[in-house]
Structure 1
Amino acid sequence: MPDTRVSELVRMWIDGWVVSRGSSDPVDEPWGWTIDVGQPKHVARHVLPEPGEGDVRKIVAATSAPGTWLKLFAEEELVLPWIGPGWRLDIPGFLMTCRLVPDRPEVPAGYTLTSWTRGGVSQVLVRTPAGHFAARGQIAQVDAHVVVDQVETAAEHQRKGLGRLVMRTLQSTAYEAGARTGLLVGTPEGRALYSSLGWTLRSPMTSLWYEPSAAAQSAA
């Protein structure tokens, strides 16, 4: 998808993310979208595909609810000067895309793989023969694209090819369901894995959440 604008990719990512997480439909804003997530530490999020200083400062000034998140598709160095007190910086994110192809990965010896689909979300679970959790991931499909979400490997099972197994299985599942493009927002740790599997970096993402001090909350 070399000619697709970042704003279009972000909207495609959002459309799959809300299905994957069971969140509200995104509400259009002049600067992007607002999504109600409904979790105690993640009440809502504002997503800005092309953040500008004026818009970010207005959102920050209007925010009083702890658990409000900002997802800004720009480098930290650009947006952090616009952020006020009480905002906490999360690890960097990377918006990536991939052209999906059919694949049939082999499960490494000593592990079992289970997959299922429910409510538009396909999940993959890798366990040991004793049933212990080893790795997982999921995808949500919207039209001809899927969003990969919540890929993780237990610390004691890392560097054994399980991340690749999960990703390749999810990508193949998506292809077989008719999807041809994958999107995700990865962590710095996951970026190398995704790049090795053919994923292309499209934009950095700065992620912050509002968690004011106890003193600031009492004053409010």
Structure 2
Amino acid sequence: MTATATDESTVGTLVRSWIDGWIVSRGTSDPADRPWGWTIDAGHVNHVSRHVLPAPAETDVRALVAATSAPGTWLKLFADDDTVRPWVGEGWHFDKPGYLMTVPLAAERPAIPAGYTLTSWTRGGVTRILVRTAEGHFAARGQVAATGPTAVADQIETAPGHQRRGLGSLVMRTLQNTAYEAGATTGVLVGTPEGRSLYTSLGWRTHSPMASLYFKPTPA
């Protein structure tokens, strides 16, 4: 599967929509505007902050790399890994690539597969979905933050022993319906390579790849 061609300005708008929902979902700082994009403080030992560049230029990436000395600094560059790989050096590591995706939202009432239960709750603008077995064992989860006309799906996960049973579809359709009922018209996410097939099967469209890198220098 390849990304559908999307113009740069549209990608920039979608990236900002993703950020607006992601910071609510994760409880991070507000994004700080930069000439090349945004900086967000996440506040975790392995994820102190991130720089998000919707249209990464080599000069900007090289300048950020040269100025970075703090482990746990991340770069989210909306380009493929091979494009940005020559721009970074020692101490930078590639995480799994991501894919910026959207879907038109509509009312959905997915059926819960036999042998599972679904629980949902909302707090701080984030709705969380939990799927468990009849015995209460974890099976799948996900969450969504609706911010006006867009809603960001986040942290979608299905336990290995419960994959290929329709639980990922159940979580996504439930989150999409929740966002629709909250007034959002477009779903936005950055999906992993593993999740992309599921999202595509549910009507999500890919707009751009995203290279994800973190700084972890080799100990002296």
TM-score category of the 2 structures, normalised to the smaller one: over 0.9
Partner of 1:118: 123
Structure 1 residue 147, shift from structure 2 partner:
0.2
Q: Distance in 2 between matches of 1:4 and 1:58?
A: 23
2:8–2:55: 8 Å Cα contact kept in structure 1? no
1:46 aligns with 2:51: yes
Partner of 1:157: 162
Q: Taking structure 2 as the reference length, what is the TM-score of the superposition? A: 0.96
Cα offsets for 1:27-77 (capped at 9, x unmatched): 000000000000000000000000000000000000000000000000111
Cα offsets for 1:133-171 (capped at 9, x unmatched): 000000011111100000000000001000000000000
Partner of 2:20: 15
How much is the aligned-residue C-alpha RMSD, in angstroms?
Answer: 1.2
Partner of 2:114: 109
Q: Distance in 2 between matches of 1:126 and 1:2?
A: 38
1:192 aligns with 2:197: yes
Q: Give the count of matched residue pairs.
A: 215
Unaligned runs of 5+ in 2: 1-5
Structure 1 residue 213, shift from structure 2 partner:
0.7
Q: Distance in 1 between matches of 2:98 and 2:202?
A: 18
Cα 1:199–1:2 shift into 2, 3 Å: farther
Alignment of 1:69-84 (within 5 A): 69-84=74-89
Partner of 1:133: 138
Partner of 1:62: 67
1:34 aligns with 2:43: no
1:87 aligns with 2:102: no
- Specify which of 193, 197, 213 is matched with residue 208 of structure 1: 213
Q: Residue 172 of structure 2 aligns to a residue in which SS?
A: helix
Give the ranges of 4+ consecutive aligned residues of structure 1 lying more than 4 Å apart after TM superposition.
1-4
Structure 1 residue 4, shift from structure 2 partner:
6.3
